[in-house]
């Protein structure tokens, strides 16, 4: 007997389909756009059905910034016809090396570009703000220390003009470290800086105070004199840990010394999107603080170090750089948050 498979005996007659296959009577219908997209009438603007999105919102999706939130509209501020009274902003973080001085210089220069009159106050005995603007602290004839401790010293005797139009400097040097000790015995010692800055309020639009990296008496003076606080924060784990202590100090100053004080925003600095750690820290910051975090993020770049050596803001040292553009955006965002934009 042969092992070859037996021939199929149920083969359909010639010209017919197998029992389990239906032979179509006609050609299959062609697929048209009306079979895919929902039936709609032709738009009045002349577009075709194929031009209409099949699904999803028709409006353009908002552009997300580095913080993962939609970027707000930050218009270029209109020039001012009258100047003052100034809004006083303290750059504060008890951790050093987070970008306080760089932010004070670059933000101040960006605000000056937009026609605001700006006074920078170097309130750190290290004098980094003064050095960053090309001044030699040891050669200064008068500093903020003289203004605090000597009743005969006037504000106009100490203020220095910078190379940026519309931006002045109240300089500092190592002498300021003695003020923290000497102020202890003074009446209303927490309000000493507010007292000496009062004559400048009507002459400027913004006063930026560069605080020292501590929560001592000098920093308390800066918070007592300020209307708002900007907290520069390096995108690094240890920088996150000190924010709770800083906000607790700000809350105490608000309750006991300065009821108008508020946090204007937390600013992420030295951000490197190429590192997982940097992205995680930024996400943690936004998750914890939400809208208190500025949409502007300052990325790490060597241009900041180069501009410091040159003794000028990045907006004039490298005006077309990404760092300069970031601080211009921050200036617009600060003005919007201050209800000026």
Say whether pLDDT at 18 is over 50: no
User: What was the pLDDT predicted at 22?
Assistant: 44
Say whether pLDDT at 49 is over 70: no
For the packed helices 302-310 and 322-337, what is the interaxial angle rounded to 10 degrees? 90
3-state secondary structure 54-102: CCCCCCCCCCECCCCCECCCCCCCCCCCCCCCCEEEEECCCCCCCCHHH
User: What was the pLDDT predicted at 244?
Assistant: 83
What the block records as the tokens of 105 is: 């210089």
Mean pLDDT of 216-234: 96
- For 141, counting Cβ atoms within 10 Å of its Cβ (0-12 exposed, 13-18 middle, 19+ buried), the class is exposed
Say whether pLDDT at 307 is over 70: yes
pLDDT, greater one: 283 or 42: 283
User: What was the pLDDT predicted at 59?
Assistant: 55
Q: By three-state DSSP, how is residue 103 classified?
A: helix
Q: pLDDT (tens digit, 9 = 90+) per residue, 50-64?
A: 444 444 444 567 788
Q: Which residues contact 321 (CB under 8 A, 6 or more apart)?
A: 301, 303, 314
Say whether pLDDT at 163 is over 60: yes
Report how many helices (DSSP H) and strands (DSSP E) the chain contains, helices first.
14, 8
Assign residue 94 a region: left if phi > 0, alpha if psi is -120 to 50, beta otherwise?
A: alpha
Q: Which residues contact 324 (CB under 8 A, 6 or more apart)?
A: 106, 110, 303, 314, 315, 318
> The whole model's pTM is what?
0.81
**Segment holding 227, helix H or strand E:** none
Query: Which one of 3.40.1260.10, 3.20.20.80, 3.40.50.300, 3.30.70.2190 gives the CATH number of domain 87-337?
Result: 3.40.50.300
User: What was the pLDDT predicted at 109?
Assistant: 97
Gap between the Cα atoms of 63 and 58, Å rounded:
15
User: What was the pLDDT predicted at 239?
Assistant: 81
| pLDDT, mean over the chain | 85
Q: pLDDT (tens digit, 9 = 90+) per residue, 243-266?
A: 888 999 999 999 999 999 999 999
Would you say 92 and 231 are in contact if contact means Cβ atoms under 8 Å apart?
Answer: yes
Closest of 243, 222, 253 to residue 98, by C-alpha: 243
Gap between the Cα atoms of 234 and 95, Å rounded:
9
**Segment holding 177, helix H or strand E:** helix 176-182
Q: pLDDT (tens digit, 9 = 90+) per residue, 97-156?
A: 899 999 999 999 999 999 999 999 999 999 999 999 999 988 998 999 999 999 899 999
User: What was the pLDDT predicted at 237?
Assistant: 86
Closest of 121, 150, 77, 117 to residue 332, by C-alpha: 77
User: What was the pLDDT predicted at 7?
Assistant: 45
DSSP label at 174? T
pLDDT, greater one: 221 or 55: 221
Mean pLDDT of 298-303: 92
Gap between the Cα atoms of 303 and 324, Å rounded:
9
The beta-strand segments (E) located in 165-323 are 167-170, 206-211, 228-234, 262-271, 293-299
The beta-strand segments (E) located in the chain are 87-91, 118-123, 160-161, 167-170, 206-211, 228-234, 262-271, 293-299
DSSP label at 329? H
Q: pLDDT (tens digit, 9 = 90+) per residue, 187-212?
A: 889 999 999 999 999 999 999 999 99
């Amino acid at each position: 007997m042969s092992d070859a498979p037996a021939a199929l005996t149920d083969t359909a007659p010639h010209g017919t389909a197998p029992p389990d296959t239906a032979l179509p009577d006609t050609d299959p219908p062609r697929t048209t756009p009306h079979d895919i997209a929902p039936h709609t009438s032709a738009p009045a603007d002349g577009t075709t059905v194929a031009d209409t999105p099949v699904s999803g919102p028709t409006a353009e999706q908002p552009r997300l910034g580095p913080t993962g939130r939609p970027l707000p509209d930050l218009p270029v501020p209109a020039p001012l016809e009258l100047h003052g009274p100034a809004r006083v902003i303290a750059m504060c973080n008890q951790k050093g090396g987070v970008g306080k001085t760089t932010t004070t210089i670059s933000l101040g220069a960006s605000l000056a570009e937009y026609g605001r009159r700006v006074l920078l106050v170097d309130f750190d005995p290290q004098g980094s703000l003064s050095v960053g603007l090309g001044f030699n602290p040891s050669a200064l004839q008068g500093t903020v220390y003289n203004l605090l401790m000597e009743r005969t010293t006037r504000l106009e005797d100490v203020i220095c003009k910078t190379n940026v139009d519309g931006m002045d400097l109240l300089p500092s040097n190592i002498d300021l470290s003695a003020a923290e000790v000497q102020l202890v015995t003074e009446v209303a010692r927490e309000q000493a800086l507010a007292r000496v800055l009062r004559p400048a309020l009507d002459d400027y639009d913004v006063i930026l105070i560069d605080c020292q990296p501590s929560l001592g008496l000098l920093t308390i003076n800066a918070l007592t004199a300020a209307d708002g606080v900007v907290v520069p924060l390096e995108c690094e784990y240890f920088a996150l840990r000190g924010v709770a202590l800083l906000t607790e100090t700000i809350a105490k100053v608000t309750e006991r010394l300065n009821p108008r004080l508020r946090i204007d925003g937390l600013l992420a600095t030295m951000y490197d999107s190429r590192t997982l750690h940097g992205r995680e820290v930024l996400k943690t910051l936004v998750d914890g603080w939400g809208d208190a975090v500025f949409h502007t993020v300052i990325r790490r770049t060597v241009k900041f170090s180069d501009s410091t050596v040159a003794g000028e803001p990045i907006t004039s040292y490298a005006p077309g750089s990404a760092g300069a553009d970031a601080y211009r955006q921050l200036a617009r965002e600060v003005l919007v948050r201050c209800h000026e934009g």
